[in-house]
């Protein structure tokens, strides 16, 4: 049995190595590749993705998994071996349900759709992508049928990124959150908006990068196993547990962009770097779900990185880095600026209070489209109506409305958004539990040290990688299932104080 | 038949994509990878190399090649299709002769041997690597036996890097060259050595890199399909015909290193960038042999880059870049400095006259070791004796003697060195022919333009990639077989003038 288990591990290592190489092809394309390399690079990435998929869905893997059932049953649920088998089996069952020919067809379609979107968005031309989006929705509904027995047609997609969650559960949580959030947003946005002009000055790129990376290191990002480069869109990527990289971009006329995206990606990287090194190359060596991953990026970006305590320590350093720009701006004004709440059009630029409204809009639309209740041709109008209802404003065009996010234009529709808000909720829940265990964390943050928080997160979350599902790890780490209470308490306290809401 | 041919091409494309990804893993390891990534990276590169090998030696490829024999025979030798089949067949036959298990054993041994060498060399400890080297020689002799019917036991290795050449032919050419070279070296080195102290000053890295890259671009290196990064050892690598990169290193206390290594790697890159774009992803999309490749690096580095005409144009610019260091150094003194000939210990630092003596020593030793006439235990002493005979000096230690080159310590012994000197010979032969066809080339070089030369090389050499073997392309491009005459004429003229040899 052990020999069979080793054989399976070897195959998984091979799959991991090929995917990691594909990841490097992408990282290089985004960072240093000369323009002339683009055509071949697309082909090379496709070749490696296909190969890694083939190696994984190989019937030989299924046979090994079948033969290993008694072995798995003989092991403790919590043992690494049982967990590895459990996760591999889950991924294998999922991957083999979708026929390769269908997958190839979808990939070919979505890469065309993505291409069209890159031109249609700046041209504000929804009609151009409409037929592609309609076909994508068709494919999405077909894809769901490979998972018969689902409760909701969106479930197969939600399970793929947030295993253990279902549409019904997410909808229930989101409804609860929405009920609490909408009045809060209304109250805040009825006040005079914060003045964030101090962030909109000239900040030289090199100094921005230096400052951001210094904070990242102080958070605990291990540069011996990481690095930062510049890309058009910031991301975190991992080639092994010894090589977890982040990227950022800078805007020289806006301080907020590089700074907070660096802290965000650092959060993702801390999670991956914190996984047990002996999981290297196994299916356990990765974050467990989109939501839990996002909980860490949002925790470090917002709960830590936009807190008063953090800036009590770091603001003098930031002023030193940018004396002309910030020398005469008091801490309080800066703190208000980085936490400005406003009704804005673009999800990725939204503050942490309104952000979830953007996400829920998209999540609800995904369900309705998959259910067949929302036609693609009605999507732009539905977007405007919902936006009016949720934000009190109407996007002036589709470019900054229904065309703004890449998700629906480069992959199937479904499961693409809920992770962002689940992340906000879970980040607060993890943080609250860490504070209960170690009440000294806030004062440490005020001193610019993050060891206790980082260690708690490693011990209770990071080290396990994908060993436990999101609901399992949330329960284990916090003692409760997912709950919006810590998140709402966090928002009410922070923004209550910022906006004198008397709470 | 066309369908079968397409099927073969598709498979070759897959092999190419996997190897290219492996190449990127290596490039990244040498440029940007954080130290923590090393262990997994070695494994990932091994996985991809194995996969690409497996995909290539697959019996299905052999079957296709067999079935395509009548198709190939029905085609013109010069057609792209016939050439693709010819080259694929040659590579396939070679690759399938060596059993995969043997190859894996060798790879495992040589990676261990390499590791030991990296420590043994700085420690000047030949005894430490001796047992590894003995085993490497054993493996090398065994490997040759997979190619029964060879004329000389080194032939299978020489054919691998310089297809079309044999030990007997290389030995004949080298003997001829040696006879002409040894007296030239003696005459030159009996004179007062050139003063190259002007090169040994402080030259800031950034300015060195800028200057070198400017020249590379002027040579015709297409930055839309290339880039330069820093590595410990300079190299050229290609991920597709649209992405051909070079690397360099700088020494801030020596101008010669980055400058000439940049021009050298640029020569390699011009060759690869010059290949017909419709060969992309096929076995024809690469230089045809080690010797022909080196002919281009040496042509651009030495024949162009160390010529009087070149510096007539570029020296004023170099002086402008480094006014304090070179402002008062006349062109003539600089020209003598960069062409200083001396009896030195290290091959990679050697000038273009003595360089070949270093190479021939190693080539002869490879033959003798493979023949069983030179035992590994006698190698250090043999090195010292031969060095004394050829250079008139004895290396003070093994570190700068038999331990200096990585070749024997990281791969099989044989075929590793002849390409360097074949390159020197062929570079001069190609250049002489280009001059006959376009006598304006020297005056163009004096004006800092290289288009006529570059175009001639593209038209007559680069575009063909591996379509023709080295002997074929030499004959086609120059109208004669390989000959040392142009090279000796070049050396005699250039160094005759530099050292007033009255020739």
- pLDDT tens, A194-222? 999 999 999 999 999 999 999 999 999 99
Residues A338 and A425 in one domain: yes
Among B97, B121, B137, where does a domain finish?
B97
Checking if the pLDDT of B190 tops 70, the result is yes
B43: contact with A, CB 8 A cutoff:
yes
Q: How far apart (Å, rounded) are the C-alpha atoms in residues B411 and A322?
A: 54
Q: How far apart (Å, rounded) are the C-alpha atoms in residues B363 and B152?
A: 13
Residues A258 and A360 in one domain: no
Inside any domain, residue B376? no
Catalytic annotation on B265? Answer: yes
Residues A334 and A453 in one domain: yes
Q: Token pair of B42, please?
A: 């070695």
B417-423 average pLDDT score: 97
Strand, coil or helix: what is B494?
helix
Q: Token pair of B91, please?
A: 């590579």
Phi, then psi, of B77 in degrees rounded to 5: -55, -40
Residue range of the domain that includes B238? 197-344+419-459+473-498
**CB neighbours (10 Å) of residue B209?**
17
pLDDT at B501: 79
Contacts of B119 (CB under 8 A, 6+ apart): B125, B128
Q: How far apart (Å, rounded) are the C-alpha atoms in residues B80 and B35?
A: 44
Interface mutation vs chain B, best among A34, A50, A52, most B CBs within 10 Å: A34
| Tokens 């590895």, located at residue | A84
Inside any domain, residue B216? yes
Checking if the pLDDT of A100 tops 90, the result is no
| Tokens 């007033």, located at residue | B500
B339-365 average pLDDT score: 94
B114: contact with A, CB 8 A cutoff:
no
Checking if the pLDDT of B73 tops 90, the result is yes
Residues A332 and A213 in one domain: yes
A25: contact with B, CB 8 A cutoff:
yes
Distance from CA of A332 to the nearest CA of B (A): 38
Contacts of B227 in chain A (CB under 8 A): 32, 34
- Identify whether the C-beta of residue B165 lies closer than 8 Å to the C-beta of residue B291: yes
A26-55 average pLDDT score: 95
The per-residue pLDDT of chain A, averaged, comes to 96
How many helices, marked H, and strands, marked E, lie in chain A?
23, 3
Interface mutation vs chain B, best among A18, A24, A213, A221, most B CBs within 10 Å: A24
B11-39 average pLDDT score: 96
Interface mutation vs chain A, best among B31, B40, B45, B238, most A CBs within 10 Å: B40
Q: Token pair of B214, please?
A: 């400017």
Residues A427 and A449 in one domain: yes
Crossing angle of the two packed helices B2-31 and A2-31, in degrees rounded to 10: 80
Percentage of chain A beyond pLDDT 70 is: 100
Contacts of B18 in chain A (CB under 8 A): 47-48, 51
| Active-site entry in B265, B272, B352, B366 | B265
Among A122, A149, A176, where does a domain finish?
A149
DSSP state of A377: G
Checking if the pLDDT of A438 tops 80, the result is yes
* pLDDT grade for B502, boundaries at 50, 70 and 90: low
Q: How far apart (Å, rounded) are the C-alpha atoms in residues A394 and A383?
A: 9
CA A206 to chain centre: 27
Residues B204 and B337 in one domain: yes
Is A145 exposed, middle or buried, given 0-12, 13-18 or 19+ CB atoms closer than 10 A? exposed
Q: Which of B 258-287 lie inside 8 A of A, CB atoms?
A: 280-281
Q: How many folded domains does chain B comprise?
A: 2
pLDDT digits (tens, 9 = 90+) for B168-177: 999 999 999 9
pLDDT at A152: 97
A170-174 average pLDDT score: 97
Residues forming beta bridges with residue B196, ordered by sequence position: none
pLDDT at B1: 85
Q: Which of A 215-244 lie inside 8 A of B, CB atoms?
A: 222-227, 229, 239-243
Residues A42 and A105 in one domain: yes
pLDDT at A106: 92
Inside any domain, residue A160? no
Checking if the pLDDT of A244 tops 90, the result is yes
Element of type H or E holding A118: helix A100-120
DSSP state of A339: T
Phi, then psi, of B244 in degrees rounded to 5: -120, 110
A128-139 average pLDDT score: 97
Contacts of B375 (CB under 8 A, 6+ apart): none
Contacts of B276 (CB under 8 A, 6+ apart): B463, B464, B465
- Identify whether the C-beta of residue B241 lies closer than 8 Å to the C-beta of residue B247: no
Residues A143 and A232 in one domain: no
DSSP conformation letters of A423-482? HHHHHHHHHHHHHHH-TTHHHHHHTT--HHHHHHHHHHTGGGTTSS-HHHHHHHHHSS--
Checking if the pLDDT of A503 tops 70, the result is no
* pLDDT grade for A502, boundaries at 50, 70 and 90: low
Q: How far apart (Å, rounded) are the C-alpha atoms in residues B143 and B292?
A: 25
Contacts of B38 in chain A (CB under 8 A): 242
pLDDT at B500: 82
Inside any domain, residue B158? no
Q: How far apart (Å, rounded) are the C-alpha atoms in residues B254 and B7?
A: 52
Checking if the pLDDT of B309 tops 80, the result is yes
B344-364 average pLDDT score: 94
Of A6, A167, A164, give the one whose Cα is nearest residue A90.
A164
Residues B71 and B205 in one domain: no
Checking if the pLDDT of A489 tops 70, the result is yes
Look at B281 and A43 and tell me if their CB atoms are within 8 Å: yes
A335-344 average pLDDT score: 95
Contacts of B470 (CB under 8 A, 6+ apart): B162, B163, B164, B165, B288, B289, B291, B292, B422, B426
Contacts of A35 in chain B (CB under 8 A): 224-225
Q: Could you give the residue numbers annotated as active site of A?
A: 265
- Identify whether the C-beta of residue A25 lies closer than 8 Å to the C-beta of residue A43: no
* pLDDT grade for A500, boundaries at 50, 70 and 90: confident
pLDDT digits (tens, 9 = 90+) for B88-106: 999 999 999 999 889 889 9
Look at A20 and B33 and tell me if their CB atoms are within 8 Å: no
Look at B242 and A39 and tell me if their CB atoms are within 8 Å: yes
Inside any domain, residue A162? no
Residues A54 and A115 in one domain: yes
Inside any domain, residue B192? no
Which of A21, A225, A243 is closest, CB to CB, to B21? A21
B26: contact with A, CB 8 A cutoff:
no
A133-141 average pLDDT score: 97
Look at B34 and A240 and tell me if their CB atoms are within 8 Å: no
Which of A17, A28, A47 is closest, CB to CB, to B24? A28
Give the 3-state DSSP-derived string for B281-324, with helices as H, strands as E and coil as C. CCCCCCCCCHHHHHHHHHHHHHHHCCCHHHHHHHHHHHHHHCHH
The whole model's pTM is what? 0.95
pLDDT at A330: 98
Checking if the pLDDT of A439 tops 70, the result is yes
Q: How far apart (Å, rounded) are the C-alpha atoms in residues A55 and A285?
A: 18
Residues composing chain A: 503
Which of A18, A28, A239 is closest, CB to CB, to B37? A239
Among B97, B116, B145, where does a domain finish?
B97
- Identify whether the C-beta of residue B52 lies closer than 8 Å to the C-beta of residue B18: yes
Pairing of strands B243-248, B236-240: antiparallel
**CB neighbours (10 Å) of residue A408?**
28
DSSP state of A147: S
């Amino acid at each position: 049995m052990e020999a069979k288990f080793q054989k399976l591990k070897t195959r998984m290592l091979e799959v991991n190595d090929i995917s990691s190489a594909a990841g490097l092809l992408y990282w290089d394309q985004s960072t240093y590749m000369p323009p002339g390399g683009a055509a071949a690079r697309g082909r090379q990435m496709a070749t490696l993705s296909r190969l890694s998929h083939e190696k994984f869905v190989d019937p030989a893997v299924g046979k090994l998994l079948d033969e290993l059932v008694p072995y798995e049953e003989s092991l403790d649920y919590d043992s690494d071996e049982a967990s590895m088998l459990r996760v591999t089996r889950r991924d294998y069952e999922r991957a083999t349900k979708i026929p390769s020919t269908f997958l190839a067809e979808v990939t070919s379609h979505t890469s065309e759709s993505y291409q069209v979107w890159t031109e249609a968005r700046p041209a504000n031309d929804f009609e151009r992508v409409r037929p592609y989006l309609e076909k994508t929705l068709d494919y999405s509904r077909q894809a769901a049928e490979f998972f018969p027995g689902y409760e909701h047609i969106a479930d197969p997609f939600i399970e793929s990124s947030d295993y253990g969650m279902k549409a019904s559960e997410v909808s229930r949580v989101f409804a609860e959150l929405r009920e609490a959030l909408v009045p809060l947003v209304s109250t805040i946005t009825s006040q005079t908006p914060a003045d964030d002009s101090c962030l909109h000055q000239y900040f030289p790129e090199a100094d921005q990068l230096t400052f951001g990376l210094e904070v990242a290191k102080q958070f605990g990002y291990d540069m011996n196993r990481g690095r930062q480069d510049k890309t058009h869109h910031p991301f975190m990527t991992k080639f092994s547990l010894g090589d977890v990289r982040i990227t950022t971009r800078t805007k020289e006329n806006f301080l907020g962009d590089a700074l907070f995206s660096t802290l965000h990606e650092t959060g993702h990287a801390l999670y991956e770097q914190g996984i047990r090194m002996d999981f290297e190359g196994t299916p356990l060596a990765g974050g467990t779900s989109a939501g839990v991953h996002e909980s860490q990026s949002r925790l470090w970006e917002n709960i830590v990185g936009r807190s008063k305590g953090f800036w009590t320590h770091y603001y003098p350093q930031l002023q030193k880095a940018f004396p002309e720009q910030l020398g005469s701006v008091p801490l309080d004004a800066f703190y208000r600026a980085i936490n400005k709440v406003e009704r804005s059009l673009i999800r990725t630029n939204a503050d942490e209070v309104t952000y979830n409204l953007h996400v829920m809009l998209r999540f609800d639309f995904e369900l309705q489209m998959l259910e067949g209740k929302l036609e693609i041709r009605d999507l732009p109008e539905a977007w405007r109506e919902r936006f009016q209802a949720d934000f009190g404003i109407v996007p002036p065009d589709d470019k900054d409305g229904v065309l703004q996010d890449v998700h629906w234009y480069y992959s199937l529709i479904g499961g693409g958004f809920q992770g962002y808000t689940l992340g906000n909720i879970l980040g607060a829940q993890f943080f609250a539990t860490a504070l209960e265990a170690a009440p000294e964390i806030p004062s440490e943050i005020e001193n610019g040290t993050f060891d206790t928080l980082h260690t708690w997160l490693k011990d209770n979350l990071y080290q396990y990688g994908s060993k436990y599902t999101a609901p399992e790890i949330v329960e284990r780490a916090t003692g409760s299932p997912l709950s919006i209470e810590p998140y709402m308490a966090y928002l009410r306290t922070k923004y209550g104080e910022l906006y004198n809401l008397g709470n």
